Amino acid sequence: MAAVPVVLLVEDELSIAEPFSGALMREGFAPVLAGTAADAIRRFEESAPDVVILDVGLPDGDGRDVCRELRRRSTVPIIMLTARGTETDRIVGLELGADDYVVKPFSSGEVIARIRAILRRVTPIAAADGAGVDRQVFGDLVIAPGSRRVRLRGEDLPLSRKEFDLLACLARDAGRVVRREELMSEVWDENWFGSTKTLDVHIGWLRRKLGDDPAAPRYIHTVRGVGFRFAEPEGDGG
Distance CA 60, CA 195 (A): 32
Confidence band (pLDDT; 50, 70, 90) for 126?
A: very low
- Say what the pTM is: 0.56
Distance CA 11, CA 75 (A): 20
pLDDT at position 5, please?
A: 87
Confidence band (pLDDT; 50, 70, 90) for 37?
A: very high
Domain positions in the chain are 6-123, 133-230
Distance CA 28, CA 187 (A): 25
pLDDT at position 39, please?
A: 95
What class does CATH assign to 133-230? mainly alpha
What class does CATH assign to 6-123? alpha beta
Give the best-scoring range by mean pLDDT among 37-41, 129-133, 201-205, 229-233. Answer: 37-41
HEC string for 81-104? EECCCCHHHHHHHHHCCCCEEEEC
- Eight-class DSSP state of 232: P
